[in-house]
Amino acid sequence: MRNMNIELKGLSPEQVANLLPDGLISLCWRGSVAHGMYVPKTDPDSIDDKDIMGIYVAEREHYLGFGRRDVYEKWEGEWDCVFYELRKMIGLLLNCNPNVYA
């Protein structure tokens, strides 16, 4: 399943397709954007990037124990992305991991 119709400002559709994992079921802001503290790159004092987090359902082989990948991280331009496999995300939430709360 390819992720269609998702746009990230400043990236081409090909870059977005390369950035997002197959099986994506949720996508949200995190970091400075989510907390309303993002300083745009047009500001000379900006040090921020745009952080997004997502949840994906892995391919069948993952659940059979082949090629496991619980966390998928990628960077493209000012976009800093982290994606968690569904079971990994549930485990992080059950342990109250602060990294998975917006």
| pLDDT > 90 in the chain, percent | 33
Report domain extents, the chain. Answer: 13-100
Burial of 89 (0-12, 13-18, 19+ CB in 10 A): buried
The tokens describing 44, both together, are 């000379």
The pTM of the full predicted model, rounded to 2 decimals, is 0.83
Segments in the chain below pLDDT 50: 1
| CATH class label, 13-100 | alpha beta
Separation of alpha carbons 79 and 10, rounded Å: 9
pLDDT of residue 4: 62
pLDDT of residue 3: 53
